[in-house]
Structure 1
Amino acid sequence: MTTHNLSTLRWLTYMMFFMFAMTSDAVGVIIPELISEYNLTMTQASAFHYAPMIWIAISGLCLGFLADKIGHKPTIIIGFLLFSIACFGFAVGNTFTLFVGLLSMIGLAIGLFKTAALALLGDLTPSSKAHTKTMNTVEGFFAVGAIVGPAIVSYMLVAGVSWKYLYLLAGAMCVLLCLATFKVSFPAKIVKKSNEQASFKQTLLMLKDKHALGFSAAIALYVATEVAIYVWMPTLLKTYQGDWTLLATYALTIFFVLRAVGRFMAVWLLNLFSWQGVMLALSSAIFLCYLATYLFGVDAAVFALPLSGLFMSMIYPTLNSKGISCFEKHQHGSVAGVILFFTALSAAVAPLLMGIVSDHFGHIEYGFALATGFAACLMLGMLYNYFKDPARARLAHA
């Protein structure tokens, strides 16, 4: 495979994640418009967040094996087609129920092309270390998309344009990516070392693998700490009345910018230190940001929570790449699906739990107390990983 073709595949993956982030992370800006337009409760409107996440989880677990069974290219194309059809569906309907259905279809599509793309990265990288660096670059483009998507929606709303045009833009971008996928050559399919065929049954068997479960649990804890920021931080900072109101207003944007910067810095940082040490240091810094919020309230949160984006940036792509690298390449689609299942499930359940706790005790600060517990568990997990390094032998073998 030529260097040009490899470069094209990498850029295809980068733009895939950029497009996905544009739609997924713009939901927080869209929800207030939905509440006003359709007279919804916050619980009803939150379906815009958890519906696609649930379907990403279902798709990752139940269909992740397709990347290994029929190949990365066909699976990505199927995902792109479903994604673009769902996006264009926003132009022909105008009911909240239809929108939730279309978002569910988008979640199903994302589960397909994301697991195939993650498996593809394993074919494009010669080692676990190279895989981790590439994964951080991919997630860097996701982080940029997470900035661009909300910015586009905000501009549209100011200009009097419907937020639905974001999905039409994403659909058009997806069509172009689909055409590019048709034209580019993919690496030859990995030959299996056994007669076992990729299937949903084989994916379920991975749920018994301690490495798949261990990395999935760590990623779920990380996602629980991250999603608390972009779902609930704006609500928490609404109560801020200090001298840094401008900072509080743009706190979420600052968080996304720092997360993007940190992901592009990851390659440099991982060249200097072991990934185990980097994960421990960053998870400890995240915990301190949450602890400061827990101890000193919103006056500390206005600084600490946006800053946590810089420390969060490298954890997900690094853990994801190491979890996938623990398996043979012909299993990468299946294990990526398992990890994606726990990722999306945590993204759906964690903010819901925070909302329940906050409603019960009467303030969102109690939800962030729960998030502080998530951050503490993540730090303890990375402490265990640093001293015990349970994946060392599996990574060396794979």
Structure 2
Amino acid sequence: MNNKSNSLKVFIPVMLSFFVMGIVDVVGVSTNYIRQDFSLDDLTASIIPMMVFLWFAIFSIPTGMLMNRIGRKKTVLIAIIISLLSLLLPYLFYNFYAVIIAFALLGIGNTILQVSLNPLVASIVSGEKLASTLTFGQFVKAIASFVGPIIASVAAKQYGDWRLIFVVFVAVSLLAFMWLYITPIKADEERENNQTTFGSTLTLLKDNLILQLFLGIVFIVGIDVCMNTNTPQLLMQRLGMTTDDAALGSSLYFAARTLGAFLGSFILMKCKPAVFLRINMIVAIVAFAIIFFAVEQWLLFLSVALIGFTCANVFSIIFSVALQYKPQQTNEISSLMIMGVAGGAIITPIAGLLSKNMGLAAGFGLLLLCVIYILLLSLKFSKK
């Protein structure tokens, strides 16, 4: 009974840290308000999410090296502090340059958090439960993503300032920091002394499966970020919604992701990850096909919800497959996979450029290609 109690004491602050991880998705709804406030075109506005996710390519490996020196828990705490500061900046100083700096800091903090938090979970959860636990963490993360647009919309309509969302998330981040800080995690203290280097991490890409899993992370993050930013645009163009109302489209997407992650954490205890992933991607392909021609509100909402639901477990499945494929190199694998989160910085501006020159449907077409790749990937690692 005591062990269960201690496990719960560790589990709660760790899951709260996943909530802080999900705060990064505030970039989606923020981009739409910032686009309106500063009269930005689609291509210029795409710089904002790029400033968040670019840092995943730069700070992932150094974070892996830092974990070996100070431990995973301390690294997570540093990440939460950086995230907290990044949320204060655009509320206190609201201009385009302050926004760019703030979201760059948010990206740096989130990079450090994602690289360190997933291995921290791996150190306190048995391997057989890793996929479902990481998926539950994604469920908690999705809650933050889901409530973000709602808070921003309510703040804009009721109080005339959508930026109050940053105040709310600062309070949650502070709670997560304090709770984790006072919680001892013995498994992290007994970490391995392997020294992660740039060379040892990048060398893993020579392994064909690792490379394909890495690209899978790139593409699923690209899908997430683009759905977050493009869904409101889709609703405004097809249905004539206002910016405030269309922002709730992002909440619909993340509500479906939240439900998908919650159910997925239980389904993955019974179903093989590759099979579950394959079924989800087939449904996602159908949903993207609907988006291309749908003009009815219910059909657009249904397709957006289906994409959110089916993409909810992709990240955690790919991540757990990678960790279990080479369990002796947890820090290196984590650094490399989170480096793939830079896909948000790669896919988003490409989709923005396609949308600007060829229409919004072209941007969604790029996301469809990403889904097809993940479907093929599920066939690959199911043979391992």
TM-score (norm 1): 0.85
Tell me how far apart the structure 2 counterparts of residues 88 and 261 of structure 1 sit (CA, whole Å).
30
Task: Kindly report which structure 2 residues correspond to 1:167-246, keeping only aligned pairs within 5 A, or say none.
Answer: 167-186=166-185, 187=187, 188-192=189-193, 197-240=195-238
Q: Residue 395 of structure 1 aligns with which residue?
A: none
Among candidates 364, 367, 372, match of residue 363 of structure 2? 367
Secondary structure of 1:184's aligned partner: coil
Does the 8 A contact of 2:149 with 2:247 survive in 1?
no
Task: Kindly report which structure 2 residues correspond to 1:7-156, keeping only aligned pairs within 5 A, or say none.
Answer: 7-22=8-23, 24-127=24-127, 129-156=128-155
For 2:305, give the aligned amino acid. P
Deviation at 1:284, TM superposition (A): 1.4
Deviation at 1:250, TM superposition (A): 5.2
Deviation at 1:260, TM superposition (A): 0.7
Deviation at 1:287, TM superposition (A): 1.4
Q: Residue 271 of structure 2 aligns with which residue?
A: 273
Tell me how far apart the structure 2 counterparts of residues 241 and 48 of structure 1 sit (CA, whole Å).
25
Tell me how far apart the structure 2 counterparts of residues 220 and 326 of structure 1 sit (CA, whole Å).
19
Structure 1 gaps of 5+ residues are 391-398
User: Cα distance 1:333–1:21, how it changes in 2: closer, same or farther (>3 A)?
Assistant: same
Does the 8 A contact of 1:18 with 1:145 survive in 2?
yes
Does the 8 A contact of 2:90 with 2:99 survive in 1?
yes
Q: Residue 375 of structure 2 aligns with which residue?
A: 379
Secondary structure of 1:273's aligned partner: coil
Does the 8 A contact of 1:211 with 1:326 survive in 2?
no
Among candidates 281, 287, 290, match of residue 289 of structure 1? 287
Secondary structure of 2:79's aligned partner: helix
| Cα deviation code 1:247-267 (max 9, x no counterpart) | 988544332212111111113
Deviation above 4 Å: which 4+ runs of structure 1?
A: 247-251, 297-302
Question: Is 1:355 aligned with 2:348?
Answer: no
Tell me how far apart the structure 1 counterparts of residues 281 and 8 of structure 2 sit (CA, whole Å).
32
Q: Residue 318 of structure 1 aligns with which residue?
A: 317
For 1:365, give the aligned amino acid. A
For 1:65, give the aligned amino acid. M
For 1:104, give the aligned amino acid. A
Secondary structure of 2:54's aligned partner: helix
Does the 8 A contact of 1:261 with 1:310 survive in 2?
yes
Structure 2 gaps of 5+ residues are none
For 1:124, give the aligned amino acid. I
Q: Residue 336 of structure 2 aligns with which residue?
A: 338
For 1:350, give the aligned amino acid. I
User: Cα distance 1:303–1:217, how it changes in 2: closer, same or farther (>3 A)?
Assistant: same
TM-score (norm 2): 0.88
Does the 8 A contact of 1:67 with 1:119 survive in 2?
no
User: Cα distance 1:92–1:368, how it changes in 2: closer, same or farther (>3 A)?
Assistant: closer
Paired residue total: 375
Tell me how far apart the structure 2 counterparts of residues 171 and 14 of structure 1 sit (CA, whole Å).
17
User: Cα distance 1:29–1:91, how it changes in 2: closer, same or farther (>3 A)?
Assistant: closer
Does the 8 A contact of 2:214 with 2:340 survive in 1?
yes
Does the 8 A contact of 1:71 with 1:189 survive in 2?
no
For 1:189, give the aligned amino acid. E
Does the 8 A contact of 1:252 with 1:306 survive in 2?
no
For 1:372, give the aligned amino acid. L
Does the 8 A contact of 2:153 with 2:247 survive in 1?
no
User: Cα distance 1:159–1:339, how it changes in 2: closer, same or farther (>3 A)?
Assistant: same
Tell me how far apart the structure 2 counterparts of residues 182 and 249 of structure 1 sit (CA, whole Å).
35
Identical positions, percent: 18
For 1:9, give the aligned amino acid. V
User: Cα distance 1:45–1:221, how it changes in 2: closer, same or farther (>3 A)?
Assistant: closer
Tell me how far apart the structure 1 counterparts of residues 9 and 160 of structure 2 sit (CA, whole Å).
34
Secondary structure of 2:269's aligned partner: helix
